Structure 1
Amino acid sequence: MKTITLEWDKDLLNKYDISGPRYTSYPTALEFSEDYQREDYITCLNSVSTDKSLSLYIHIPFCQNICYYCACNKIITKDKSKSSEYVKYLIKEIQLVSKQLKAKTLRQIHWGGGTPTYLTMEQISEIMQTIRGCFTIPNESSTEISIEVDPRALAINDIKALSLLGFNRMSMGVQDFDPKVQASINRVQSFEMTRDMMVEARKHGFQSINLDLIYGLPHQTRDTFKATLDKVIEISPDRISVFNYAHLPHRFKPQRRINSSELPSAFEKLAIFEYIIKKLQANGYLYIGMDHFAKPNDELAIAQQNNCLHRNFQGYTTHEEYELIGVGVSSIGSIGGQYHQNIRDVEPYYEALSQDLLPTWRGASMSFDDKVRKAVIFGLICHFEISKKEIEETFAIDFNQYFRNELDLLTPFITDGLLKVDGEVIQVTNRGRLLIRNICMMFDIYLNEMQIIKSFSKVI
């Protein structure tokens, strides 16, 4: 497998240090409109042909404790009885969606949140039973069934229970193992707890385990994060996601509990990021893109090597061709050139489902231009290169004419050695891979300066 060594250029990273989208969709969710109605979603579901394979995302919004850095749609409560009502309505939504679909073949299932393991094993089992009753899973051993796990909300014996329910992939939140950092973000989780969970998951056949880390949190330094990374490498996850903490207290209320004076300086944050990249690559992890690293034999690395890596609202994924159905509050799906998002709050979500109505909030129908630009942006962000000829043949356009303005915008990236553009191929260099979001932004027709300032995280 081809190994890419990223080139680190601090001056260029500082030069291009702006905010921008993460491109888990195009157009991004900021362009979703409430003009998109329930009837549009139903029509879209009805139109999925029987030969299409499906991916299902299940959103569980509950958490027992609040993590101050978190920007997810969540409900903080220790009252476990509240999840019973949610499970009842979630099951109803799965059944209603299934009735609108001719396609029934399910090849990916992903549980996210919130904290999916906030639910009891009995509740998770009930939902999985509903899914199996509404859809066909042709080969469970090859179907990706993944769940996001908070080790603090899981008993060690629950790992076996999850395996017996069909789960075979796991993503585990860590963020940082330093006790002072953990206390500052209200997420205290010992290394031993995380290690024991991983050992148990391996024992019960989980095929791919991801750990989430965050850099840029209060009290972090290069030295403290070195200790965290040493522990992560010791337990050897298949994938590691290292996210840049975006301090946006004006948008996310829990972040107001973080003292901004305790955040690392821009200089220190960049030093942490540089260390992460060099340390992980030195220990055999491949840089997939954005914040993601994987071992060479992991599915993400193999998919990228085979030119079939894709992105959706959960990040990088191994299959582009599946229609994505989202269920649960605030969940997002992508079907037949349309995006659909559910109601964000539980009470109106319950109210809609109590009337046998799908809980639609907003969405977007992709125009021809959206589809062309998405192909370019996703090609770059997943594979770091695109063939102009392939885009021309797919969409019957003249690439250089269609993107004449965008190609002009790429000139500084070419001059700075971040990008190579010839007659046939646009290729991101090893120096440019860390700035892939900046490059993709040149093809985003929706961006304006105020959106960049107010709505998105920094690219580094």
Structure 2
Amino acid sequence: MNAAAPLFRPDLLARYDAHGPRYTSYPTAIQFTDSFDAAHYRDAARRGPANAPLSLYFHIPFCDTVCFYCGCNKVATKNRAHARPYLDRMKRELALQAALIDPSRPVTQLHWGGGTPTFLSHGEMAELMSETASHFNLVPDEHAEYSIEVDPREASADTIALLRSLGFNRLSLGVQDFDERVQRAVNRIQPRAMTETVLDAARRHGFRSVSVDLIYGLPHQSVESFARTLDAIIALRPDRVSVFGYAHMPSLFKMQRQIDESALPSPAVRLAILERVIARMGEAGYVYIGMDHFALPDDPLARALDAGTLQRNFQGYSTHADCDLIGIGASSIGKVGDVYAQNARDLEGYAAAIDAGRLAIARGVRLAADDILRRDVIMRLMCGGELRFDDIGITHGIDFSAAFADECARLAPMADDGLIDLTHDAIRVLPAGRMLVRNVASVFDRYLGQSSLQRFSRTV
């Protein structure tokens, strides 16, 4: 890949801007059905190989206040008492899940998301981590990535110290924008000092990696205003920065109806903001990982990209090998063997299942051989930017060129536009195509014609 070739091609970005999956899984969650039940999941879990690594995801849905842009599954409440019954049910779910898994399997990855995980009290967080360790084989800190999403408005320096003592070694900090007018428009008032306090505490207590999340495309943002936020973040020097494009889908996410659509930046302004992001992050020494992720050159994500070992899961890009994923909590998604499974999204459905002593799985999908093949193709493109036909052929026992003749024909215009290099034996994503890798990967998605693209965010 020619590193000097430009990532940002406004003509191509404008031409290919469309709705499409982010491919944190394939098939995507739209293909999950309620005919899939806990029996399917139990069968897949019990067939899991001994000693294969595990990843654990915990969804803690509570937020003290709601951010208008948010599309996550959350419950806005100031009543901290709601955490106790939910915590007790997560503990019972841990026992149900652990009964299906070989106890020797090492947990090399763990993530708490939400919502706001630090909605839990210090004692409750310690209790949940202790209960997890009693059921699963958590490997030592130096061999694992234990991460948590932190809202700086909900975390003091003491909270950060506690999280490190519990074993967390990576933080993801939500910021979105430092501009006060933007913050008021999205109901997230977060002075810069709050973020600095949390980041400084993370460094003092030895967190190995700190990530910051930003969003462009929010109301009242301009190129100049977002550049000020970007420069402030770069001055703080987090290990990773994610810069997501805001997906305004008020028909799907009711809270987004609180946003004044007339204040949203135009497509041209969004594109100009993205251009500034790409240029400024590169000037600051950050490596473009893919899609909306950047990392410092010595961060494990950047090293994994160089080594060709980058992975992708429901939390985004990952440094660990493809793990079975156990989802805990309402709406959590797991991947075990050849199945994906999602818990009941609402607290009532989740509670009813756990209180009855059964898994809370409400829907899912068992992957067919074609799904597994296409998942491999899509993930190689998304993570490595290269697909050698012989590698796929040997792994899956197919003739790639024959099996995907139609897809290769549909890729030809992308090759003509300089997004990819398409030869008789490989597909390579070129620099101009890296920001449009979702478009390239979607050519191999056989379900896209069967579902509404409007349910996905825009690719730019």
Q: TM-score range by the shorter chain?
A: over 0.9
Q: Counterpart in 1 of 2:349?
A: 348
Matched letter for residue 60 of structure 2: I
- What SS does structure 2 have at the residue aligned with 1:71? coil
Post-superposition offset of 1:48: 1.2
Residues 1:433 and 2:413 aligned together: no
User: For 1:459 and 1:431, how far apart are their aligned partners in 2?
Assistant: 14
Partner deviation per Cα, 1:59-104 (whole Å, 9 max, x = no partner): 0000000000000000000000001110000011011100111143
Q: Residue type of the partner of 2:201?
A: E
Does 1:91 find its partner at 2:97? no
Report the 3-state secondary structure (helix = DSSP H, G, I; strand = E; otherwise coil) of the residue aligned with 2:431: coil
2:457 alignment counterpart: 457
SS of residue matched to 1:81: helix
Deviation larger for 132-141 or 274-283: 132-141
Deviations for 1:336-385, whole angstroms, at most 9, x for unmatched residues?
Answer: 12101000011121111111100011111111111111111110111111
TM-score (norm 2): 0.98
Residue 216 (structure 1) aligns with: 217
Q: Which residue of 2 aligns with 1:383?
A: 384
Distance (Å, rounded) in 2 between the aligned partners of 1:216 and 1:449: 29
Query: Is there any run of 5+ residues in structure 1 with no aligned partner, and where?
Result: none
Could you tell me which residue of structure 2 aligns to residue 447 of structure 1? 448
Residue 423 of structure 1: CA displacement? 2.4
Work out the percentage of aligned pairs sharing the same amino acid.
Answer: 44
Question: For residue 59 of structure 1, what is the amino acid of its counterpart?
Answer: H
3-state DSSP class of the match of 1:26?
coil
Partner of 2:282: 281
The 3-state SS of whatever aligns with 1:357 is coil
C-alpha distance in structure 2 between counterparts of 1:237 and 1:251, whole Å: 32
Counterpart for residue 43 of structure 1: 43
Deviations 1:305-342 (A, max 9, x none): 11111111100011233111111000001111210100
Equivalent residue letter for 1:229: L
Residues 2, 431 of structure 2: 8 Å contact kept: no
* 1:4–1:287 Cα contact (<8 Å) kept: no
* 1:64 counterpart residue number: 64
Amino acid in the other structure paired with 1:152: R
Counterparts in 2 of 1:113 and 1:255: CA distance versus 1, 3 Å:
same
The aligned residue for residue 395 of structure 2 is 394
Corresponding residue for residue 155 of structure 1: 156
What are the equivalent positions in structure 2 for 1:20-35 lying under 5 Å apart? 20-35=20-35
For 1:210 and 1:144, the matched residues in 2 are separated by 13
| Aligned position for 2:320 | 319
Residue 119 of structure 2 is matched in structure 1 by: 118
Distance in 2 of aligned mates of 1:151 and 1:3: 36
Paired residue total: 459
Q: Is the 8 A contact 1:6 1:433 kept in 2?
A: no
Change (3 A) 1:450 1:109: closer
- By how many angstroms is 1:292 displaced? 0.4
Structure 1 segments (4+ residues) deviating >4 Å: 1-5
Inter-partner Cα distance in structure 1 for 2:296 and 2:194: 23
Report the counterpart of residue 191 of structure 1 in structure 2. 192
Is 2:412–2:422's contact at 8 Å kept on the other side of the alignment? no
Which whole-Å CA distance do the structure 1 matches of 2:351 and 2:418 have between them?
Answer: 53
TM-score (norm 1): 0.98
1:370-408 per-position Cα deviation (integer Å, ceiling 9, x unaligned): 111111111011111111110000001000000000000
Instruction: Kindly indicate whether the alpha-carbon contact (under 8 Å) linking 1:5 and 1:281 is maintained by their aligned counterparts in 2.
Output: no
Answer yes or no: is the 8 Å Cα contact 1:109–1:146 preserved in 2.
yes
For 1:4 and 1:97, locate their aligned partners in 2 and report how far apart those are by CA, in whole Å: 48
Give the aligned partner of residue 292 of structure 2.
Answer: 291
The aligned counterpart of 1:246 is 247
Instruction: Describe the superposition over 1:153-172 as per-residue Cα deviations: whole angstroms up to 9, x where unpaired.
Output: 11221111111111110000
> Superposition RMSD on alpha carbons, in Å?
1.3
> Which deviates further from its counterpart, 36-45 or 197-206?
36-45
The answer as to whether partners of 1:4 and 1:286 remain within 8 angstroms in 2 is no
Deviation track 1:268-322 (CA, whole Å, cap 9, x = no partner) reads 1100000001100111111100110011111111111111111111000112331
Measure the CA separation in 1 of the matches of 2:240 and 2:5. Answer: 17
Alignment check: 8 A CA contact 1:285 1:296 kept: yes
d(CA) in 1 for partners of 2:7, 2:160:
39
Deviation for aligned residue 1:5: 5.6
For 1:212 and 1:420, the matched residues in 2 are separated by: 32
- Amino acid in structure 2 at the alignment position of 1:69: Y
